[in-house]
């Protein structure tokens, strides 16, 4: 299996760190890193994840649209690396 997500992430972080002011506190939690990745608990590796979102206003009993939107989403983990195309199978 490839290591593209980690390797490219490190390169991007290095480039971005050049723009960070001296003595700044860098967040190392969930605020830093790839957006749209999931941890595969079987393999312990990061996988690319895309989320499709849908929002709608339901019709009330009186025929009017509801004031608030209802949100739904569905996540899909990619089977292949978006950088090199190698299969991202479970180890």
Domain that holds residue 18: 4-77
Asked which of 14-18, 41-45, 62-66, 78-82 is least confident by mean pLDDT, the reply is 41-45
Domain-embedded: residue 84: no
φ, ψ dihedrals at 12, nearest 5° = -65, -45
Domain-embedded: residue 89: no
Taking the CB of residue 2, how many other CB atoms lie within 10 A of it? Answer: 15
- Give CA–CA dist 20/7, Å, rounded: 20
Domain-embedded: residue 85: no
Instruction: Residue 76: name the closest of 48, 46, 34 by CA.
Output: 48
Domain-embedded: residue 49: yes
Spatial contact of 58 and 68, defined as CB atoms under 8 Å apart? no
Average pLDDT over the chain reads 89
Spatial contact of 38 and 8, defined as CB atoms under 8 Å apart? no
Tokens of 21: 């002011």
- Report the number of distinct structural domains present in the chain: 1
Digit-coded pLDDT (tens) for 30-73: 788 888 888 888 888 888 898 999 999 999 999 999 999 999 99
Q: What is residue 89's predicted lDDT score, i.e. its pLDDT? A: 67
């Amino acid at each position: 299996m490839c290591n593209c997500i980690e390797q490219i992430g490190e390169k991007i972080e290095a480039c971005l760190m050049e723009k960070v002011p001296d003595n700044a506190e860098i967040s190392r939690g969930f605020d830093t890193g790839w957006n749209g990745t999931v941890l595969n608990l079987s393999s312990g590796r990061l996988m690319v994840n895309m989320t499709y979102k849908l929002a709608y206003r339901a019709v009330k009993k009186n025929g009017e649209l509801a004031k608030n939107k209802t949100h739904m989403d569905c996540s899909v983990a990619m089977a292949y690396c978006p950088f090199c195309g190698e299969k991202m199978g479970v180890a």
